[in-house]
Structure formats: structure tokens, C-alpha cells
Amino acid sequence: MPTVNVAGEPLFYSLYSGDITGQYNLVLVHGAGGSHIHWPAELRRLAGVNVYALDLPAHGRSRGRARTSLQSYADTVHLFVLTIGLQRASVLGHSMGGAIAQLLALRQPRWLEKVIIVGSSARLHVQPLILEYLNPQAGTDGFEKALDLICQQAYGPRVSREMVRRGRQLLRTVPSSVMYADYLACAQFDISNTVGNITLPALIICASEDRLTPPEESCSLAQRIPSAQLEIIQGAGHLVIVEKPAEVAAAVSRFLGA
């Protein structure tokens, strides 16, 4: 479980490759308020793949400052890959992380092979009330209300109360200022006019019951990226990676060729 210095910020990441080094490299980029902990075992332990689950600055066990620009987070992911010396890698991003993956795909750095975009679109819609509650002026009570709203919308209709409870507990460990910065960055993200310039192989994964990024938005994204494939996971919500991890992992493995 190493830490690496990237542009003066100590960033934590977990590396999973089993007993034998995998043929493929995959960098996992979490969503708003997330960390490496949010990735289930099925995605962290893909057969034949070296999986790097990164904590973005100020998230999880990483130090540094939170950003209010997803371009800045894309800079960080790019520098992270260069710092750890990967010659070739793919990126899998969920929600906010999916937006970061799109920004990297538009840049086409030499190391980037493929992108996997889960629960994301060319424009991220953030409910104004969530930003109002997350605003530092709203205090602790506002933060708790924001968590309630997020958890009400992030899960599919058939998840257990225990899964929602655990997810809320994880979010409560994130400083409210970091969560606020993440959602501000998401609210400003809109590459609708340029997303069609992505030429790298792309896999778009969406969930049929996603209320934060409805499946029609993911379908539109897949249509606009010339080399995109679309995978719809039935019966899950926005947090499809934890609701249906085996299905997501299978789609990722097929796409990577692992």
C-alpha cells in the first residue's frame, strides 16, 4: 500500500496484481467524496491486470488539497502514471472519475490505451440543493442533509438498508470542504462540444436505475464517441460498482482483453 510524491503532494494508492504481474495496467479513479476503499474486491482483483486504486489529493489516505476543477484532477492522474513509471495503462473512472477519464482521453497521453467510463456523461448534473447543503456556511446540519440527499439518489431501488448505511458512513469520513469542492468541480464539468473528439477505445457502463446519471445520458455519450461500446447493467443505481460488482468486473475484463 504505497505512497508516492506527485507534484509535492503525497498520494496513496493500492496495487493489486496477485502473485503474478498482470499483462494489463488499470488505474481506478473514484468519484466525488470517494477513495480506494470504495472499489469492491471484484474490481480490485481482476485476473491478469495490475490494478492501481488511487486516492485523489485530500481524499482517503492522500494528502494535498482538494480541487474545484476536474482538469486539475486529470493533471494529477497523468502525473501519477508518469511518476510510478507506467508505459501503458487504461483508466476506469466512476462518476466524477468518469469525467476525469474523459478529459484524459481528450488529451491522449502516450501511456493511455483505453478508457472505461462508469455512471458518467459529457456533462455532470449536480442538484443545486446538494451544493447549498455542502456549502461551509450551512454547517454540520447542512452536511448531514447533503449526505441524506446523496444516499437517497445514489442507490438502486433494491439495495439493502445496510448497504446504504455503510455507504453513508464512508461519506461521513470525508471532510465537508473536500465534498463541497468535488461537487463544485462536477457542476462545472461540461465537454458536450468536444467529447466527440475522443478516438481512444472506450467502454461506457451505465445502470438501468441510475437517477444521478440516467442511462439515456450514457447512451448519448456512447453514440458520440466513435469507438465506444455500451454496457447497460440491469437493476442497479448510480453506485453500480458496489451494487453489481461482478457484472461490472466481467464487462471490464472483456473490454481489456484480460
Please, which pLDDT band fits residue 17 given cuts at 50, 70 and 90? confident
Query: 202-207 and 112-118 as β-strands: parallel, antiparallel, unpaired?
Result: parallel
Does domain 3-123+190-256 fall into CATH 3.30.420.40? no
What pTM does this model have? 0.96
Please, which pLDDT band fits residue 23 given cuts at 50, 70 and 90? confident
Q: Where are the domains of the chain?
A: 3-123+190-256
pLDDT, residue 73, reads 98
pLDDT digits (tens, 9 = 90+) for 42-101: 999 999 999 999 999 999 999 999 999 999 999 999 999 999 999 999 999 999 999 999
Give the integer Cα–Cα distance in Å for 98 and 136. Answer: 26
pLDDT digits (tens, 9 = 90+) for 138-185: 888 999 999 999 999 999 999 999 999 999 999 999 999 999 999 999
